[in-house]
Structure 1
Amino acid sequence: MLKLIKNARDVAVDQWKTLTLAEGETPHSVRLPAGPVLVPLSVWRARRAELLHSEYEHGWPLGVWLAEDEHPELIEGDLDDFTVVAIKPGALARDKSHEAARFLRERHSFKGELLAAA
């Protein structure tokens, strides 16, 4: 399970349901929870239409989290669909997560929340 961090402190856990894939689950088979959900990039790519339908039909916020080896360019065409983007920095890649956040803010004017996923 991911721990979401904003401004060096934990984010309220009751707002977002952070989806991770358990062993044996695939992006197509994992159960999507109701309510505000933060999904891994693989689930976003596999179930984009279903996630957008839930977001617009129910008004539930939608977010995506990127693993340390996933660059924000992979979602640059989808940024308007997300309330939150979380970036999971690797043990030695703290600079990469700052670079990714800068890429989203400065190059794409992303107005949503940026979080670190630990």
Structure 2
Amino acid sequence: MQRIIKNGQVVDENWHLLPADASLDGLNNSDDIIVPLRLWLEHDHALKARDGGVGVWLDSHEEVESIADDLQHLQLVALNFPIFSDGRHYSSARLLRERYGYTGEVRAIGDVLRDQLFYMMRCGFDAFALREDRDAESALNSFRDFSDAYQSAVVQPLPLFRRRA
């Protein structure tokens, strides 16, 4: 079982991440699932009627605007980083939190490394599924890499000069 970082703690993963080519066939009605955007757009009515939790994952080229009207039905939005240097979803997380007021879980998936966690958290991510060859326990220290930040962020809306005034 994979372990993830969620709200600053390492926990067992209890959601099932479906692959990009998944279908509704054979899904357990009570499982908590994270479906690809394509499946959500094709079968949102059926997915909303399930007993289990539903989340959607977006690939790096897919935009959060495509699910903006459905956010109240989603317990989780996972944003995929196909390679660590693809930072497009940092903006997606900020949009989810600041523009759309999304309060559910925003999870980073894919090629997620320790060095990114502090910055992802500042953009609005609250859960992180690290790359499988990385240790979640040791990655927890990354949240203490910096004692403070000058810029405003989702987690700290005021810049440092406003907090000191």
TM-score range for the pair, normalised by the shorter chain length: 0.7 to 0.9
The aligned counterpart of 1:93 is 86
Letter in 1 for 2:12: A
Q: Structure 1 stretches (4+) deviating beyond 4 angstroms?
A: 3-11
The aligned counterpart of 2:12 is 12
Residue 26 to residue 61, structure 1, CA distance change in 2 (3 Å): closer
- For the 8 Å contact 1:87–1:115, the answer to whether it is kept is yes
Structure 1: 5+ residue runs without aligned partners? none
TM-score of the aligned structures, taking structure 1 as reference length:
0.76
User: Which whole-Å CA distance do the structure 1 matches of 2:34 and 2:104 have between them?
Assistant: 13
TM-score of the aligned structures, taking structure 2 as reference length:
0.56
**Cα-Cα RMSD:** 2.5
How many equivalent pairs are there? 107
User: Which whole-Å CA distance do the structure 1 matches of 2:86 and 2:33 have between them?
Assistant: 25
User: Which whole-Å CA distance do the structure 1 matches of 2:10 and 2:37 have between them?
Assistant: 22
What does 1:2-41 align with in structure 2 at a 5 Å threshold?
6=6, 12-13=12-13, 15-21=14-20, 27=23, 30-34=25-29, 35-41=31-37
Higher-Rg member (1/2): 2
Taking only the aligned residue pairs, the percentage that are identical comes to 30
Structure 2: 5+ residue runs without aligned partners? 111-165
User: Which whole-Å CA distance do the structure 2 matches of 1:40 and 1:65 have between them?
Assistant: 5
Deviations 1:77-109 (A, max 9, x none): 110010000000232322x11100000000000
The aligned counterpart of 1:79 is 71
User: Which whole-Å CA distance do the structure 2 matches of 1:41 and 1:93 have between them?
Assistant: 19
RCO higher in structure (CA 8 A, sep ≥6): 1
Residue 89 to residue 51, structure 1, CA distance change in 2 (3 Å): same
Shift of 1:61: 1.4
Shift of 1:31: 3.4
